[in-house]
Amino acid sequence: MTLIVLNFKTYRESTGSEALRLATICEDISRDYSVQMVVAPQVADIQTISKAVKIPVYAQHVDGVGYGGFTGHVTAASLKAAGAAGSLINHSERRLELAKIDASITACRQAGIKTIVCTNNVATTSAAASLEPDYVAVEPPELIGSGIPVSKADPDVVIKSVQAVKRIAPDVGVLCGAGITHGEDLRAALELGSVGVLLASGIIKAKDQRKALEDLVTGTRK
Amino acid sequence: MTLIVLNFKTYRESTGSEALRLATICEDISRDYSVQMVVAPQVADIQTISKAVKIPVYAQHVDGVGYGGFTGHVTAASLKAAGAAGSLINHSERRLELAKIDASITACRQAGIKTIVCTNNVATTSAAASLEPDYVAVEPPELIGSGIPVSKADPDVVIKSVQAVKRIAPDVGVLCGAGITHGEDLRAALELGSVGVLLASGIIKAKDQRKALEDLVTGTRK
Amino acid sequence: MTLIVLNFKTYRESTGSEALRLATICEDISRDYSVQMVVAPQVADIQTISKAVKIPVYAQHVDGVGYGGFTGHVTAASLKAAGAAGSLINHSERRLELAKIDASITACRQAGIKTIVCTNNVATTSAAASLEPDYVAVEPPELIGSGIPVSKADPDVVIKSVQAVKRIAPDVGVLCGAGITHGEDLRAALELGSVGVLLASGIIKAKDQRKALEDLVTGTRK
Amino acid sequence: MTLIVLNFKTYRESTGSEALRLATICEDISRDYSVQMVVAPQVADIQTISKAVKIPVYAQHVDGVGYGGFTGHVTAASLKAAGAAGSLINHSERRLELAKIDASITACRQAGIKTIVCTNNVATTSAAASLEPDYVAVEPPELIGSGIPVSKADPDVVIKSVQAVKRIAPDVGVLCGAGITHGEDLRAALELGSVGVLLASGIIKAKDQRKALEDLVTGTRK
C-alpha cells in the first residue's frame, strides 16, 4: 500500500487543536482511499493525536539517547509511551551527526518504533540505508517547500536512490519528498520506484487540506 | 514563596506513566508544604501531566522559532497549547547558541509562558540576566548529579550571581542547582539569596521520591 | 584611533595568496590614513600573513578549549603561536553556545590575545558585554552582506548597544557591522558612539579593494 | 605501504614549534622505516609544517563549504593553499552532520586533497564508505585515549568494518584507531585487514616520541 507521510512541521495550521483536526482528515483519507497515511505532528501534540486517530503517528525528530541525564532530549521511550509509532530522523530542518542518526535508529528499534531517515542526495541516501532504518526519504533541499516536485525536477535522484538502496540494504523502503503536492507528482514518484512520499507545505498550507489530500491520492497506484 | 523546579530529564523514573505519578507527588508536596513546585517532564508527557495536576508544568527545552518550516523543533506555541506554563532554556545538557537563547526567551514571552535560563558560572549568569528571562538558574556543571550541593561546595558562585543579576536586571529571579537534595541544601541556597532551586537526580533517583521531597522542603524559609 | 576590522570570510578574493595581497593593502591604508586596521583571514592563512604585515591579524573563530584531546578545534594557543593578535567570536556565520563564548573569551585572555564578540541585537550585545570581551560587534543579520549600512538602516540598534554596554561593562568597545562600505557609513557609525566597524563583502568584493578602503577611511573622525 | 596517521589534536606537545619538531620526527621515521606517515596538526600550524617536511600534512577537520560568506569555517581551498594534502573528517571529537560529511568529502575532492572519515562502529563505517572518501578510520569512542588497542579489545569491529567496506565501496581503505600504541597493536590491526592506523595520545604523550614511533613501526608488515 502506498505510504504517505505528512510532516506537520511547526505550521500554525498543524499545531495544537489544528494538528488534531488535520490528523482526523488524514485518518479519513487513509480509510476512504486505501492508502497508508502517517502523520508527524510536533512532540507536544503526539499524545492527544495518537489517542484520537488510528493511523500511525510519528515524531519529527528523536534523539539517540536513553534513560538518564539528557535534559531537553526527545527519547524513543517517551515517544512510544505517548503513542507514537515511529519518527522522522535527520530532516533537512533538523540535521544530525552521522553517529547520532545511527544512535537514533538503534534507540527506536529498541523501543519498537519505526524510522524514516531523511537525506539530501544519492550519496547520503546510500549512507543512511547502510544504517538500516525502515525507510529513507530523499529530499533535495532546494526543492523543499518549492512546489516543484522532485519527481519531475530531478527524477534521477529518486531512480538512483532506489538503485543504491536496493544494492546496499534491500529491505529499506525509499520515500521521496520535496515539492510533492498533486496526484501526478505522487504517481511519478511511485513510477520511479519509491514506495511513497513525504510531504508538508503543499498539503498543510492548502486552502482546503482535505481537497489537497484527495487530489494527491488520485496518484496512488491502482 | 520558595520555588522548587524538578527537572525530570529522561530518567526511567520520570518518563510516561512514571512522570505522571511523580508530578502528582509534587502537587501534593506543593499543597501540603506551601512551596511553589514546578515539574519539567519530557515534551511528550506535557499534555497528560498538565491536565492532571494544578502545579505549573514546564518544558525542558524550547526552540526560538515560530510557526513555519521548522521540522523537529519545539515551539513555545505548541508547549502553550499542550498546557505548559514555562520552559527551561540552555540546560547544561542542552546548551544553545546565545542568539537562540534570546530567541527562545522572546518566543516564550510572546506565547505567554515563563522562562528559566540555565547557566554555568557568574559570567554567563550575568549574560543570561541581560536577556531578561523570568529566572536564571546557575549550576556549576561539575556538581550536576554529584550529590554535592552547590550551596555548600561553591556558595560564592550563588552569592556573586545574585549580586550580578541585581545590578543588571533586578527583576530576574535567581535559582541555583546542582547537587541539591536535602532540606539543609535548600535552606543554604535561600540564605545565599536565591529564590529557589532547580533539582533532578537527587529526588528522581531517590528510593522514596515523596520522602526525598519532604526532606527537601524542610529547608523552606519559614 | 578608529578601529576597522576586515573579516576575510572564505571569499576567493581573500584566500591563500589573495589573502596576503589584501592584508598588505590593509597595512598600507592603516599607515597612510592613521586608522587601526585589523585583518581576519582564514586560520590556514594566519602564519604567512602575520609574518608579512605589522597590523594585527585576528582569527575568525576560536574554540574555548585548551591543550588536550580536542581534534579539529581552533585553540587560542595555536592562534597565538601562529602570530594572531586576537579573534572574532560568535560571528553570525559561526554562532556559539553561550557557555562556549565565555570559554573562548577566557581562553583568549589566558593566551594574551584580544576578543571581538559578534552579536545580533541589543539584548545579545548586553549579554556579550557582561562576559567582558575587548569588543562587541553588533550586526543585525538581515543587513550582513546587504550593502545597506546598519548605521543608516537601524541606527537605534547601535545607539542602544552603546548605551547598554556603557551601563554593564564600560571598558568594552562597541563596533558595528553589516552593510558598512563607504566613508559616510563609517562616519555615521562613529557618530552613533561606536569605536569602529567590522566589515567584509563591501571591501572584499569591490572591484578595486584599495580604492574601496580609501573611500571608507574618509569617514574617520578628524 | 602501511599508512600511519598521527593526529596531533591540540596537545601542548604538538602545538606550534612542538608541532614542527614532532612532524620532523615523523618524516625521519617515514623515510627510515619505509612506512607512509601522515601528520595532522592544528590548522594554524599547517603552513609552517608543510613547508618543512615532505610527508603529507592533513588537517584535523574541514568544512564542506566553498568560497563565500562562511566566517570561521575551514575550507578545502584554504587547506590546499596552505600545503595540506588531505583532512580528517568527522573525528569523534568533531562530529559532523551526515550531509556535511558528504559536503566535506566533495569539497576536498574538488580541491584535490584526500579524505579520512572517522567512524565509531560498523554501521557508521558502512555509511561513511558509501560516501566514497579515500579512507574510513573506525575508532570505538570508548577506546580512544584508553591505551587499550582496538585491535585487541574489539577485533570484530575492524574485521566487520573491512568486510562492509569491501562490499559497499571496495576502493575505500580502512584504517583503525583508538588505543593503538605499540608495534604489536599495529601488526594486529594490519592482520585484521586494515591498511593502517590512526593514532594520537599513545605517541604524542609518550616520554620519547621518536622511540614510541620506532616501537610502533616494528609492527609493519614485512
pLDDT at site C177: 86
D96 in contact with chain A, both atoms CB, cutoff 8 A: yes
Q: Average of pLDDT values for A107-127?
A: 97
Residue B48 pLDDT > 80: yes
C142 in contact with chain B, both atoms CB, cutoff 8 A: no
Q: Average of pLDDT values for D152-170?
A: 92
Q: How many CB pairs under 8 A join B and C?
A: 79
pLDDT at site C127: 97
B11-43 residue pLDDT tens: 999 999 999 999 999 999 999 999 999 999 999
Q: What is the least distance, in Å, from the CA of D80 to any CA of chain C?
A: 9
Q: Average of pLDDT values for B39-60?
A: 97
* Grid cell in block for residue D192: 585484521
Low-confidence winner among A194-203, B37-46, C54-63 (lowest mean pLDDT): A194-203
pLDDT at site A1: 86
Identify the helix (H) or strand (E) that includes residue D162. Answer: helix D155-168
Angstrom distance (rounded) from CA C114 to CA C57: 10
Instruction: Say which of D96, D131, D164 has its CB closest to residue A123.
Output: D131
Low-confidence winner among C122-126, C131-135, D80-84, D214-218 (lowest mean pLDDT): D214-218
Interface test with D, best of A95, A98, A106, A115 (most D CBs within 10 A): A98
Between strands C114-119 and C86-89, the pairing is parallel
Residue A147 pLDDT > 80: no
Chain B CA closest to residue C128: B127
ipTM of the complex: 0.94
**Residue numbers in B near A11 (CB within 8 A):** 67-69
B83-135 residue pLDDT tens: 999 999 999 999 999 999 999 999 999 999 999 999 999 999 999 999 999 99
Chain D CA closest to residue A123: D131
Instruction: Say which of A99, A121, A131 has its CB closest to residue D120.
Output: A99
Angstrom distance (rounded) from CA A194 to CA C200: 45
Q: Residue C5 — φ and ψ, nearest 5°?
A: -105, 120
Q: Average of pLDDT values for B148-160?
A: 86
Hey, which residues does C22 pair with through a beta bridge? none
A93 in contact with chain B, both atoms CB, cutoff 8 A: yes
Instruction: Please indicate whether, in this complex, the C-beta atoms of B124 and C132 are within 8 angstroms of each other.
Output: no
Q: Average of pLDDT values for C80-95?
A: 97
Interface test with C, best of D5, D8, D12, D42 (most C CBs within 10 A): D42
Note whether D80 and D29 are within 8 A (CB): no
Question: Could you write out the DSSP letters of every residue in A200-219?
Answer: -HHHHTSSSHHHHHHHHHTT
B100 in contact with chain C, both atoms CB, cutoff 8 A: yes
Residues of C tagged active-site: 91, 139
pLDDT at site B221: 64
The pLDDT confidence band at residue A75, using thresholds 50, 70 and 90, is: very high
What is the percentage of chain B residues whose pLDDT exceeds 90?
82
A157-172 residue pLDDT tens: 999 999 999 999 999 9
pLDDT at site C146: 77
B178 in contact with chain C, both atoms CB, cutoff 8 A: no
The pLDDT confidence band at residue C221, using thresholds 50, 70 and 90, is: low
Instruction: Please indicate whether, in this complex, the C-beta atoms of C93 and D79 are within 8 angstroms of each other.
Output: no
Q: Average of pLDDT values for C130-143?
A: 92
pLDDT at site A91: 96
C98 in contact with chain B, both atoms CB, cutoff 8 A: yes
Instruction: Please indicate whether, in this complex, the C-beta atoms of D119 and A99 are within 8 angstroms of each other.
Output: yes
pLDDT at site B222: 58
pLDDT at site C220: 83
Output C143 or D42, whichever has higher pLDDT: D42
pLDDT at site A221: 63
D132 in contact with chain A, both atoms CB, cutoff 8 A: yes
D197-213 residue pLDDT tens: 999 999 999 999 999 99
Between strands D3-7 and D36-40, the pairing is parallel
Chain C CA closest to residue B129: C127
Angstrom distance (rounded) from CA C37 to CA C33: 10
**Residue numbers in B near C136 (CB within 8 A):** none
pLDDT at site C178: 78
Residue C198's CB is within 10 A of a number of other CB atoms, namely: 27
Residues contacting residue A200 through CB under 8 Å, at least 6 positions apart: A6, A7, A8, A9, A11, A144, A145, A177, B69, B71
Residue A17's CB is within 10 A of a number of other CB atoms, namely: 10
Angstrom distance (rounded) from CA A218 to CA A215: 6
D110 in contact with chain C, both atoms CB, cutoff 8 A: no
Distances A78 to A55, A144, B114 between C-alpha atoms, Å:
19, 29, 24
Residue A145 pLDDT > 80: no
Instruction: Please indicate whether, in this complex, the C-beta atoms of D72 and C94 are within 8 angstroms of each other.
Output: yes
Mean pLDDT of chain A: 94
pTM of the model: 0.94
